Structure 1
C-alpha cells in the first residue's frame, strides 16, 4: 500500500511567502507588523496541525491493520544536504511520523522491526538480489539488468525492507543456516544473489541460470 505525500508545505507556502514579503515591508515595532507576525505564526501553526492530524490517522491505520511493521533507519540529516529533496524531506518529517508509529504500535500491541541504514534496500533487486551499484536518486523506476524486473523504486525498496527485517528477527526462514547468513552478507536472503552477473563479472553465470 502506497500513501501519497500530501505535501503540506506546498499547500500553504504561497500564503506564507506573501505574508513574509508583507512583513518585510512593515516598520519594526508598528501595530501592522505585529499583526502580520501573528498571521504568519497562525499559518505555521495550521501547517503543524495538518501534519499532526495526517500522521495520527496514517499511523493508526497501519498499526491496526498489521501485526508486524518493518521500518528503515534513514540518514535524514545526510539526505537533507541534497537541496533537490531537502524541502520534500522537511515536509514529510520522518522523525515525527516514526515516533507516532512507535507509539501506536505499542498501544495496539504490534511489533516494530527496524533495519539498519546501511542495508542497501534501494539498490537490491527484490526478485533476484542483484545490486545495482549505478542506481541514482533520480531513477524512480528500478530496472534489474540480471533478471529483467522493472518496478517502482520505492516499491522495490519496501519489498527488500520487509524481507530483510523479517529474516533478521527469524520470522522468515532463509535458505542458509544462521552462521552462514552471518558470514555471507545477503546470500542467505536472496536465493539467486550468487548468480549476480554484475557482481561476479561473468556471463557464464547468466547462462547457468
Structure 2
C-alpha cells in the first residue's frame, strides 16, 4: 500500500476545553470524556483541496473522511452527493460528516479493549466543538487501574478522497490528508507522532478532572 501524503494546513488547530476521568467499578471500566475545539480556515482548506483535486467540493462522488483518533471513530467516508457545489463555509462542510450515525460505538476485542461513544458535535463561531468519550476494560473483565491506560493521542485531520465511477463499484481513493500537526515525526513514549500532536499519558492521569497541563504536545 502506498504511503499516504500528509500536509499541515494553515489555520487548522485543536484546542482542549475540558475533560474528566471516571471509573465504573461495577462494569470494571475506566473512561475519559473530553471536549475540544477544532478550528479550520475554510479559505485555506479550499485552496489546498483544489491544488490536489481541482473542483474538489463540486464533485458529488468525491468524498471526505474525518480522522479523529482519541475523539471518535468514523465508520468509512462521506460522499458529497447533493451537497456538492453548495459547500461555501465551515458549517456546510462539517454537516457532511458530523451526524452521530456515521460513528462507531462498539467494543474492540482482545487485550485492553476500547469503546468510543458517538461524539457530539456543535458549531460555535465557525469552530467545530466535539464532546467525546472513550471506555477501557480488560478482555477477561479483571479489574482495571489508571496505570493500565495507554498513551492517547488526539487527532484532527481530514482525508480528502477522489471519487470513482460508482458503476464500477470502486471506493474513492485518498489523495491527501490535511491536519493541524506538523509534517515531520517525533518519538513520544515509544510511539511515532507528527510533531505538534496533542496527547495525554493515560497512566499519569488521576480520577477526576483532566487539566489543561495534562494535554501535552509532541516535540
More helix by share: 1
Q: TM-score, normalised by structure 1?
A: 0.23
Larger RCO, structures 1/2 (Cα 8 Å, 6+ apart) = 2
Q: Which has the larger radius of gyration?
A: 1
Q: TM-score, normalised by structure 2?
A: 0.22
